[in-house]
Amino acid sequence: MLNEILATSRQRAAALEPTMADLMAAARSVPSARGFAAALTEPGLSVVAEIKRKSPSAGSLAPQLDSNEQARRYFDGGAAALSILTEPDFFAGSLDDLVEARKSVELPALRKDFTVAPVQVWEARACGADAVLLIVSALDDDSLRSLIDTAREAGLDALVEVHDELEIERAFAAEATLIGVNNRDLGTFASDPAVSERLAPMLASVPVTVAESGITDVSVAARMANAGFDAILVGEALVVHPDPASLVTKMRGVR
């Protein structure tokens, strides 16, 4: 599944290449980024609240989700930042969701997608993103370093996602300063919060750390806080919850 997703992302990136100059110009004309990483350093456990409608692992989650309304609910609950799924084919996302959600609240927003080329980084900034996701398992070392550098040039933070010890070493070699541990195995799509707990000691020197996926309730949020993470990224639990604002509030209050 990951290979299929990456293949479609590469196709979209190739189609964007002729517009690189225009996207760079547009990116440099928008207001400065809001500071995604900085927003996750406030006292307590920060919550990055995600907007997504479906996933390959869970299927349809919230097909009628309104990105404006959901972003406002997250803001009301005290979320530190937003994560917006923009991948269209497997997650039913779009860049319109990013644009609309970011307009509705004054929170920094992560473009959560399968970024494989610099043109997608510039596209993200042109659409108002404050950070991009870079998945170590989807990139070779040169590409990872290049995309981190491109994000820095574009004024974006790069959330570098890892799944195991080797990927952490690769993230260190690329000089990542914002690292997320994905508890979901991208091969099987099974989630296990113990992954973050196992890897947390290796991340003690990282300025900002995020635990991602499988954070289903307050008890799991507390486990991530106790492991030392600065923030959690929560998607499915929030988009299906009848009162996502209250769940955000409860999760950020665990530390």
Q: What is the CATH number of the domain that holds 197?
A: 3.20.20.70
Measured distance between the N- and C-terminal CA atoms of the chain, rounded to whole angstroms? 36
Catalytic annotation present for 182: yes
Report percent pLDDT > 90 for the chain.
88
Read off the pLDDT band of 195 (50, 70, 90): very high
Structural domain for 215, as ranges: 2-252
Catalytic annotation present for 213: yes
The catalytically annotated residue of 46, 191, 196, 213 is 213
Token pair of 171 as six digits: 């993230």
The catalytically annotated residue of 161, 167, 197, 236 is 161
* Ramachandran region, residue 92 (left: φ > 0; alpha: ψ -120 to 50; beta: rest): left
Q: How many domains does the chain have?
A: 1
Token pair of 36 as six digits: 């995604």
Q: Rounded mean pLDDT of the chain? A: 95
Query: Which pLDDT belongs to residue 188?
Result: 74
The catalytically annotated residue of 87, 123, 212, 236 is 212
Catalytic annotation present for 191: no
Residue 246 has pLDDT above 90, yes or no: yes
Query: Which pLDDT belongs to residue 186?
Result: 73
Contact 103, 34 (CB under 8 A): no
Q: Measuring CA to CA, which residue among 127, 239, 110, 238 is closest to residue 180?
A: 110
Query: Which pLDDT belongs to residue 255?
Result: 67
Query: Which pLDDT belongs to residue 10?
Result: 96
54: amino acid identity, one letter: K
Residue 2 has pLDDT above 90, yes or no: no
Helices (H), 182-242: 194-199, 218-227, 236-239
Residue 56 has pLDDT above 80, yes or no: no
Paired residues of 189 in beta bridges = none
Residue 64 has pLDDT above 90, yes or no: no
Residue 7 has pLDDT above 70, yes or no: yes
Q: Measuring CA to CA, which residue among 161, 172, 189, 6 is closest to residue 89?
A: 6
The catalytically annotated residue of 54, 83, 100, 112 is 112
Q: Tell me the pLDDT tens digit for each residue of 104-144.
A: 999 999 999 999 999 999 999 999 999 999 999 999 999 99
Catalytic annotation present for 52: yes
Query: Could you tell me the pTM of the whole model?
Result: 0.95
- How much is the average pLDDT of 90-94? 93
d(CA 245, CA 213): 18
Residue 168 has pLDDT above 90, yes or no: yes
Helix, strand, coil share (%) of the chain residues, nearest 5: 50, 20, 35
Contact 180, 167 (CB under 8 A): no
Read off the pLDDT band of 233 (50, 70, 90): very high
The catalytically annotated residue of 52, 55, 123, 167 is 52
The catalytically annotated residue of 9, 46, 50, 67 is 50
The catalytically annotated residue of 67, 182, 183, 191 is 182
Query: Which pLDDT belongs to residue 63?
Result: 76
